[in-house]
Amino acid sequence: MEFKDYYQVMGVARDATEAQIKQAYRKLARKYHPDVSKEPNAEARFKEVGEAYEVLRSPEKRAAYDRLGSGPRPGEEFRPPPDFGSGFEFSGAGQGAEGADYSDFFESLFGRARAGANRYAGERHFDTGRGEDHHAKVMLDLDAALTGGSRSFTLRVPEIDADGRLSMRERVLNVQVPKGILPGQTIRLAGQGSRPPDGAGQKATPGDLYIEVEFQPHPLYRAEGRDLYLDLPVAPWEAALGATVKTPTPGGAVDLKIPAGSHAGTKLRLRGRGIPASPPGELYVVLQIALPPASDEKSKAAYRALAEALPFNPRTSLGV
């Protein structure tokens, strides 16, 4: 999809105040409103301006968008990073109109967060005696999902300061992570949302904070649902002749039997050694053939001898 520079669309600086953004929007909305504008691309520009304003008027969306930096040039290809929006605390269900016709760029950044916020909001009944629910996404280390336990997270809370400029407030939370939690699942922190409005009464209660979990990249394992995958390098002779090799697992190293005649991509299953659940996930070991380097004359001679002793064309399946 194409990257969009919302500041350029609005014609404001990246450090523009809330008032400057609002003023720019009003000016452009009048200029491109389809009912009055004579511009040939008025409708498209009106939608583009509305989308930019939707992001820049919201402290939370603007803070998350600013994290991308200047990004590629407008119109260049763009994919949001996996951790986009993580570490920011969003309030309520956001300001976006549920049926608004936003671009793919907007939806890739904020669509999931908006849907999640609306889902959390739907889990309770709104009343004037309760504070607003908040939500956030955090990047969790895989070990926390495997063992559970307490983890500390720092959330950034975007706010507009007295000068109308975007500022950040941080708060640190100690969270009890359930053993076996999966990406996309949430942890509810009761009473950690916003406070109820003034005058709500003695029975008023604060809202909740819903923390959505995503996994940080792990140096060994990758998660797919409850299952874990490990790429295991093996020597050519171990794959061809079979062998028993030490293999890491989340519970400690084990002796894994490599069947004779294995090849690159062979997948071996270790039952119940994935993410804890009921039932637990599996650990799949995917074999990767590691070639010894031909870095000296002795190793080169060994390769030449192997080529003579074992004629082999790996491209026969390609017809060449």
Indicate whether 41 pLDDT > 70. yes
Which residue from 24, 87, 64 is spatially nearest to 166, judged by alpha carbons? 64
Residue 87, token pair as written in the block? 């570490």
Overall average pLDDT of the 216-235 stretch:
96
Q: What average pLDDT does the chain have?
A: 88
* pLDDT score at 27: 96
Domain ranges of the chain: 221-318
- pLDDT score at 96: 45
pLDDT (0 to 100) of residue 93: 44
pTM: predicted TM-score of the whole model, two decimal places? 0.78
61: nearest Cα among 30, 105, 27, 20: 105
Which pLDDT value is given to residue 71? 64
Assigned architecture for domain 221-318: Sandwich (2.60)
% pLDDT > 90, the chain: 66
The pLDDT assigned to 94 comes to 42
pLDDT of residue 122: 46
Return the residue matching tokens 């119109």: 75
Alpha helices in 192-253 (DSSP H): 236-241
- pLDDT computed for residue 100 by the predictor: 66
For 58-112, how does the pLDDT look when each residue is reduced to its tens digit (9 = 90+)? Answer: 999 999 999 887 666 766 778 888 788 888 888 864 444 444 689 999 998 887 5
Q: Rounded to 5 degrees, what angle do the CA atoms 169, 174, 178 make?
A: 130
Portion of the chain with pLDDT greater than 70, in percent: 89
Q: Could you read off the pLDDT of 122-177 as tens digits, one per residue?
A: 445 455 578 889 999 999 999 999 999 999 999 999 989 999 999 999 999 999 99
Q: Which residues face 135 on adjacent strands?
A: 90, 210
**Inter-CA distances, 288 with 210, 232, 270, 291, Å:** 40, 6, 17, 10
Q: Which two tokens stand for residue 211?
A: 């923390």
pLDDT tens digits, residue range 227-267?
999 999 999 999 999 999 999 999 999 999 999 999 999 99
pLDDT of residue 101: 81
Say yes or no to pLDDT of 180 above 50.
yes
What pLDDT, on the 0 to 100 scale, is given for residue 200?
66
Calpha distance 114→98 (Å, rounded): 8
Q: What is the pLDDT of residues 271-286, one digit of tens each?
A: 999 999 889 999 999 9
What is the number of other CB atoms lying within 10 angstroms of the CB of residue 284? 19
H/E run at residue 243: strand 243-247
Find tokens 């001898």 and name the residue.
Answer: 305
